[in-house]
A and B are shown apart, each in its own frame.
Chain A
Amino acid sequence: MKRECKRIADEIWECARAGQEPPVEVQKHVADCPGCAQAASEAGKVLELMREASRVGAFADCRPAVVARISGGRARSRAVWAYACASAVLVGLLVGVFYIQHSRPVPKAAREAAGQTVTLPVEGPMADLKGSSEPSEMVQKHEDAGARRIPPKRVERTTANRIRPVKKTTPIQARELPEPEPALEKGAPATAVAVTWTLSESEPDDSYVSIYTDTETGERTICRVERSADSVNIYLESKPTGEKPPAEGV
């Protein structure tokens, strides 16, 4: 169908819908164009059928149902709000009771028993490496009950035993740390140290690990002693609690 014919067909349809005679130019076109004449005839018949099809039968009055639903909806929403408020209050009460029950003060005796620690002076290689004869306060945890002390006179310092500088690490959690001890500020604080010396025949062949935690700085020191057939390797590693050691020794 040509574009002009499409426009004419639409115009014929509109005129038929409105029950009007088409304009003269349209009538002329229809007289000359068999396609448009057919379209005009079809449009009239289809529109007639559509008018018949548009008749609507009787229907029930929907007002009572609508009003009932609206009123019911209001009452329901009020009930929902009431239930929600009551539930919130109940939950609040339960949480409060739970909190009160679980936040009772711990008896004094229990607190003392739970926080029992042993303060030991630091001796041996650690005391020597820190450059201070005065023992600092170290707390020995009960992780290794059978830890043995190493006699300080047996330590031989070599170039490999020297204190290595601390690698600066980014803290995982930003928190304010206590001021470092003056003795540690002079040189780099010890973080990992390895000491090796020859083992005499009379010494027992034994290895162990002991862990120390400094209560002031929260620093944790692991001392691992490995004895082989002819030598002893001591590995000291110091690190803040929960972090990886910044350096390792052999």
Chain B
Amino acid sequence: MSESCEKLVESAKKGDVEAFDKLVFLHQDQVYALAYRILGNAEDSADVQQETFIHAWRNLRKFRQEAQFSTWLHRISVNLCLSMRRRKGYMSQESLVEELHIQSATLNPAACHERAEALAALRRVLAGMPTHYRVLLVLRDMEERSFREIAEVLGCSVASARTRLCKARNMLRARMRPYIMEEDR
């Protein structure tokens, strides 16, 4: 944890709202991105982002600064995402238009459409995977976290995180095979 962040956490623990506001400013983009990658829905991700900081404020005294503040925040965020997924039981789908918009600058319309379909398929496959597999894939392959950090966020051992990630990757590859083959043709 950086020195300034540590000081801010100390001040926030004493009830300094301004210090906590600065912490929110420093971490809100990461928290939102993580929530969005797990949930795939902007509105729910914004809810989780806000709830994460409210939970953090309420439980700040329990934070013993053994781990990084960001890791602790991500742990809260992941737990909130998991409960939201359980509660809503949805498979969120972003509009294909958004994907087309992302790729329109680099690809021709046909390629752009295929790409958007493949992305939508990936989202569907990820949404249909067991939640703990999806979280692992997001943390490692999208957010590029270290195994140690992943283990801290998920509250498991590094070895367990490695093993589960390997299984998750195999499952993702197998489920994506039809769409990738289609893309090749």
Contact = CB atoms under 8 A, between A and B. Distances in A.
A21 interface: no
A175 interface: no
The secondary structure that dominates the B interface is helix
B42 interface: yes
Interface residues of A, number: 33
B159 interface: no
Nearest to B142: A54
Contacts of B176: 42, 45-46, 49
Interface in A37-55: 39, 42-43, 45-47, 49-55
Nearest to B36: A56
Contacts of A13: 169
Interface stretch (B19-27, B64-72, B73-81, B82-90): B19-27
Interface residues of B, number: 45
Contacts of A10: 166, 169
B118 A66 contact: no
Contact of A56 (B20, B32, B118, B119): B32
B25 A46 contact: no
A139 to B, nearest CB: 68
A59 B17 contact: no
Contacts of B183: 45
A67 B180 contact: no
Interface of A: 1, 6, 9-10, 13, 17, 39, 42-43, 45-47, 49-57, 59-63, 65-67, 69-71, 73
Given A46-B122, A53-B37, A67-B24, 11 more contacts: A42-B180, A46-B173, A50-B122, A53-B122, A57-B98, A59-B29, A63-B25, A63-B28, A66-B21, A67-B17, A67-B20
Interface of B: 17, 20-21, 24-25, 28-29, 32-33, 36-37, 42, 45-46, 49-50, 53-54, 57, 98-99, 102-103, 115, 118-119, 122-123, 126, 137-138, 140-144, 166, 169-170, 172-173, 176-177, 180, 183
